[in-house]
């Protein structure tokens, strides 16, 4: 692409959408945030004011007429991803789509097919792949410093209670999708292999209000997995833990182990006469922990458009994670090991 600046339209000005929008508005070289699309007037107007962007659409399809827009960033509830990504691709626009890629394998395959047919980029929002710590760990593992990878263990535990729409697993795919998609992608990345079997157990420990209407809902989940290359994997996920945003990963090899992530917000520990055990603040949110990773992810998306290269995280990566989410939910429901 020979244009000086690549025009971006945000679809979905919610929590994660605003992170991308701020990046494209201020911090991604070569990007021009042209417009915002969101049917919720309040969200649209607040985003327009905060970002100083005048062009707003209540229906994202109106943006297809705008010749200044080259790419869309799709940050809407997951159930809408397939429809919106398909429409953007058919309009000949590049797409950065948040995780989880979609609800089902069939939806993901549709999205891959339509983007390939229209020769547009499709990148999926696994921003941990751009995080400095995760990247450094990958280099160490790939250098052979811990021998051969034997097991990858990854947890994501979020502080906030689930949104009401998440209680219906048939609509949300549950915490395995919303919370643990990142861990699933991390295990694929560090094992260099695909999931072969999963056994998952879920339970509702912190959401008593959901129990009567949504008996299948779980807010705590553990997964044990095997991989095609013989590696082992463990994931745990939780919502509503309150204490912190707790995302940590370990890669255990034949001769060593790499630990990624931290619970502590900063490296400073305060010890006083009153508090002899010392104290420090804990990481409060994914927004703060992965802020630099979102920026690098957005820069990478722009570079793949500008340089006409394959995105660093592809539709295939999104598809494989969705397959594992659904296998995990089947395992929880049917209380058995599921082979992928
Ligand atoms: N990468 C990450 O770590 C991360 C973090 C949070 C959320 N997400 C993902 O991002 C997506 C959005 O999550 P969120 O937490 O920002 O949700 P949110 O509820 O905060 O925001 C969603 C926004 O989408 C808008 N919307 C709904 N339908 C729309 C439509 N048809 N067209 C345009 N806008 C529409 C809503 O009005 C809302 O403003 C989900 O897929 C979620 O899993 C990813």
pLDDT digits 0-9 by tens, 118-140:
999 999 999 999 999 999 999 99
DSSP one-letter string for 10-52: EE--SHHHHHHHHIIIIISTTEEEEEEE-S-HHHHHHHHHHHT
Distance 173 CA to ligand 1 centre (A): 15
For residue 108, give the 3-state DSSP assignment.
helix
Q: Pick the more confident residue, 257 or 269.
A: 257
The topology (CATH level 3) of 6-127+293-314 is Rossmann fold (3.40.50)
The pLDDT assigned to 4 comes to 82
pLDDT(243) > 80: yes
Mean pLDDT in residue range 307-328? 98
Hey, how many other C-beta atoms are within 10 angstroms of the C-beta on 128?
27
Mean pLDDT in residue range 132-153? 97
The pLDDT assigned to 265 comes to 83
Mean pLDDT in residue range 26-33? 97
Ligand 1 lining (C-beta closer than 6 Å): 11-17, 37-40, 43, 60, 75-78, 80, 98-99, 125, 127, 178, 286
Distance 15 CA to ligand 1 centre (A): 7
Distance 78 CA to ligand 1 centre (A): 7
Going by pLDDT thresholds of 50, 70 and 90, the confidence category of residue 90 is: very high
Mean pLDDT in residue range 15-25? 97
Distance 162 CA to ligand 1 centre (A): 14
Ligand 1 pocket, mutate which of 38, 57, 184, 301 (most atoms under 8 A from CB): 38
Contact (CB, 8 A) for 92 and 187: no
The pLDDT assigned to 276 comes to 73
Domain locations in the chain as residue ranges: 6-127+293-314, 129-290+320-339
Pairing of strands 6-11, 71-74: parallel
Q: Which atom of ligand 1 is found nearest the CA of 19?
A: 16
Sign of CA pseudo-dihedral 237, 239, 240, 245: positive
The pLDDT assigned to 2 comes to 59
Take atom 18 of ligand 1 and give the residue whose Cα is closest.
14
Q: What average pLDDT does the chain have?
A: 95
Whole-structure pTM value? 0.95
Distance 8 CA to ligand 1 centre (A): 17
The pLDDT assigned to 281 comes to 85
pLDDT(3) > 80: no
pLDDT(1) > 70: no
Contact (CB, 8 A) for 130 and 157: no
- Residue 115, sorted as left (phi over 0), alpha (psi -120 to 50) or beta, turns out to be alpha
Distance 266 CA to ligand 1 centre (A): 29
Ligand 1 pocket, mutate which of 77, 134, 164 (most atoms under 8 A from CB): 77
Match domain 129-290+320-339 to its CATH number in 3.30.70.260, 3.30.360.10, 1.10.3720.10, 3.40.630.30.
Answer: 3.30.360.10
Distance 148 CA to ligand 1 centre (A): 38
Q: Which atom of ligand 1 is found nearest the CA of 182?
A: 3
pLDDT(278) > 80: no
Percent of the chain with pLDDT over 70: 99
């Amino acid at each position: 692409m020979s244009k000086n600046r690549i025009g971006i339209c945000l679809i979905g000005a919610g929590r994660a959408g605003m992170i991308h929008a701020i990046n494209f508005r201020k911090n991604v070289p070569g990007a021009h945030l042209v417009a915002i699309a969101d049917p919720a007037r309040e969200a649209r107007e607040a985003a327009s004011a905060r970002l100083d962007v005048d062009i707003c659409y209540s229906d994202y399809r109106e943006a297809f007429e705008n010749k200044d827009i080259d790419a869309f960033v799709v940050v809407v509830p997951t159930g809408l991803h397939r429809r919106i990504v398909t429409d953007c691709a058919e309009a000949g626009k590049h797409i950065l789509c948040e995780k989880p890629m979609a609800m089902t394998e069939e939806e993901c395959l549709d999205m891959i097919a339509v983007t390939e047919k229209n020769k547009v980029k499709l990148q999926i929002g696994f921003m941990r792949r751009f995080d400095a710590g995760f990247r450094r760990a990958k280099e160490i593992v790939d250098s052979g410093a811990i021998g051969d990878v034997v097991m990858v263990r990854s947890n994501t535990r979020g502080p906030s209670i689930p949104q009401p729409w998440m209680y219906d697993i048939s609509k949300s795919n549950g915490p395995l999708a919303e919370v643990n998609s990142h861990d699933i992608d991390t295990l694929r990345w560090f094992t260099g292999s695909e999931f072969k079997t999963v056994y998952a157990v879920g339970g509702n420990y912190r959401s008593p209000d959901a129990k009567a209407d949504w008996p299948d809902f779980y807010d705590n989940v553990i997964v044990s997995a095997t991989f095609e290359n013989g590696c082992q994997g463990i994931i745990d996920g939780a919502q509503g833990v309150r204490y912190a945003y707790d995302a940590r990963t370990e890669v255990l090899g034949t001769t060593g182990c790499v630990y990624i992530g931290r619970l502590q917000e900063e490296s400073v520990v305060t010890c006083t006469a009153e508090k002899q055990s010392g104290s420090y603040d804990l990481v409060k949110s994914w927004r703060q922990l992965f802020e630099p990773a979102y920026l690098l992810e957005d820069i990478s998306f722009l570079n793949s458009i500008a340089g006409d290269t394959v995105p660093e995280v592809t539709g295939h990566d999104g598809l494989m994670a969705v397959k594992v989410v659904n296998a995990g939910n089947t395992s929880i429901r049917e209380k058995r090991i599921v082979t992928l």
